[in-house]
Amino acid sequence: MNVQKGTATYAVDPAPQTVLPVEGSDLLFPIRRVYCVGRNFAAHAIEMGSDPNREPPFFFQKNPNNLLVGRDFPYPVASNDVHHEIEMVVALKKGGDSIPVEKALDYVYGYGVGLDMTRRDLQGIAKDTGRPWEVGKAFEDSAPCTPLFRAEKIGHPANGAVTLDVNGVRKQTGDLNQMIWKVPEMISYLSGLFTLAPGDIIFAGTPSGVGPVKRGDQMVGRVEGVGTLEVRVV
């Protein structure tokens, strides 16, 4: 049956708009696309069996409705090896093509702290068979995230610890200054591959120490100068 929404008639009920809250306000940030940069810390590239040299960055995507805010992380189906990857999240307020590096920070609305949760066993099969990564990366609730912190209030963090504790034990540690591709560079490079737009967010890469979680685990991730993300695995 058709669904009437305002002046439009849809064939089925349209999905709700995915949003992230903006810290300290009633504003909601509408999500358009979720880009993730792979192996952006040298030590993590090494632990995943890759060359840490500064080769061109590569990107994959999660779905907007994979974002999880203010809720527990449900252990996903079809996997027995789900890993944590703590990351800074970059939110764009405007977009375009071929954005110059020196102007890229002008496109940033704010920052958050996110987890790129990964079904590592399924990702491994995809890698071995040369298939896309979505089955390992873009599953339901695979992107826990904090509210966004506006750049006009916190600036543009380029240094600061990036950490993840599981049940009070430090598992991941790094620093924003260790990113192979800095925020302006990744925005510029990505805009040469896709037309960026307001509402796009970028997961900026994870430091070394990624590892498995189990039901009942409490994860606490921090990006110094941005915020803290607390998520329980259920």
Which residue type does 141 have?
A: D
225's torsion region: left (phi>0), alpha (psi -120 to 50) or beta?
Answer: left
Whole-number Cα distances in Å, 59 to 3, 10, 22, 62: 36, 33, 25, 10
Q: Is the pLDDT of residue 113 over 90?
A: yes
Query: Which residue bears the tokens 């990107």?
Result: 59
pTM beyond 0.85: the answer is yes
pLDDT tens digit sequence for 137-164: 999 999 999 999 999 999 999 999 999 9
pLDDT of residue 125: 97
In terms of residues, how long is the chain? 234
Q: Is the pLDDT of residue 44 over 80?
A: no
